[in-house]
Amino acid sequence: MWTATNLLSSISGPTERGTLDTYQALDRFLANIERRAFRMARLATGNAEDALDLVQEAMLKLAQQYGSRNEQEWGPLFHRILQSRIRDWYRRSKVRNRWRVWLDGEEGEEDPLHKLADPCMAGPAELVAGERAMSAIDEALQKLPLRQQQAFLLRTWEGYNTAETAHAMGCSAGSVKTHYSRAVHTLRTLLEGHQP
Amino acid sequence: MSTHDEQDFLAAARARLEESVSALDAHTLSRLHSARSHALDSLEAQPAWHAPHWWLPAGAMAAAALVFVLGGVMWTTQPSDSLVAMTPEITEIVGSEENLEIATDLDFYRWLDEHTPAGAYTET
């Protein structure tokens, strides 16, 4: 597998040096954003495997098509790609679910392996307090319509302003304001009694 | 809801979300690392030179302009006379099957030359 060390050893000129800079900068950027991106995709899809696939696709497209762009542009571009992929996934899954309900007459069951505890995680005693709040906010976020969820996460978590969020979501600033306002209102209502 | 309450609520939500990413399991972290490496590999595999993003629309515009100009030139230019320039005599010969046979009979022209008095076709 190609690494920055391999790249260092092959430097011979300014072009290669520029490539190394881009490589390292993109590596830092993706390492910084990948966990939040996964959580966003996971909240949207409700499925870890699909979320990982979506994040991988977004990373790949960013590197292939926008790797040469200014580093400052990567954040909004990455989220634009990711949110677009999530919307595509959402549309596909809606169609698939309609067919499944129509053919089988019931929703598909969750893989039982997903219900097993993960041995790598911290023990139950350490997690109980945090988990309640976490699961409450997860549930509340998953109940939001997709666009409200995206607007809330991009604005609150990524810290994007309205224009940046609009660019990432591919909609107008006015729509972002509406989605965000409704999301905050709904979350406050759903989380009443749970301080997140 | 007051602005202060909303800010507190958003800060708390952000803190919970941040906690959630620090508690991701090893399998997920490994997959994310692998996805990142894959993306970086693709960056390295790209050629050094890339056409600027404006080249595609500019190229399309240039091609459309070229087609437009060529079309205009072809539309406005008259067909060349040399291709269809036929005198009435030739037209008459070509139009008549009988005359065409005579016109292509070299023996007839040779006989006509031998039996025509000199100066018979001299214009006056």
In this predicted structure, what is the pLDDT of residue A125?
43
* Chain B residues close to A127, C-beta within 8 Å: 23
pLDDT at res. A2: 46
Q: Which of the two residues, A79 and B89, has the higher pLDDT score?
A: A79
User: What pLDDT does residue A49 have?
Assistant: 93
Q: Which of A57, A129, A127, A125 is nearest to A87 (CA)?
A: A57
Q: How many residues does chain A have?
A: 196
Interhelix angle B3-22/A14-45, rounded to 10 degrees, is: 110
- Where residue B107 falls among pLDDT bands split at 50, 70, 90? confident
Contacts of A29 in chain B (CB under 8 A): none
* ipTM, 2 dp: 0.71
Mean pLDDT in residue range A105-126: 49
* For residue B66, pLDDT beyond 70: yes
Residues B70, B51: Cα–Cα separation, whole Å: 27
pTM for the model: 0.61
Predicted pLDDT at A130: 58
What is the C-alpha separation between A169 and A175, in angstroms, rounded? 10
Q: What is the pLDDT of residues A29-65, one digit of tens each?
A: 999 999 999 999 999 998 899 999 999 999 999 999 9
Query: Rounded to an integer, what distance in angstroms lies between the CA atom of residue B49 and that of residue A78?
Result: 22
Q: What is the model's pLDDT at position A156? A: 93
Which of A36, A133, A188 is facing B21, going by the closest CB pair? A36
Question: Is A2's CB within 8 Å of B32's CB?
Answer: no
The model's confidence at residue B49, banded by pLDDT at 50, 70 and 90, is low
Cα–Cα distance, B119 to A105 (Å, whole number): 110
More confident residue, B1 or B8: B8
How far apart are the CA of A98 and the nearest CA of chain B, in angstroms? 29
Average pLDDT, chain A: 80
Share of chain A above pLDDT 90, in %: 51
Q: What is the pLDDT of residues A128-145, one digit of tens each?
A: 445 666 778 888 999 999
Cα–Cα distance measured from residue B71 to residue B79, given in angstroms and rounded to the nearest whole number: 14
A30 and B25 within 8 Å at the Cβ level: the answer is no
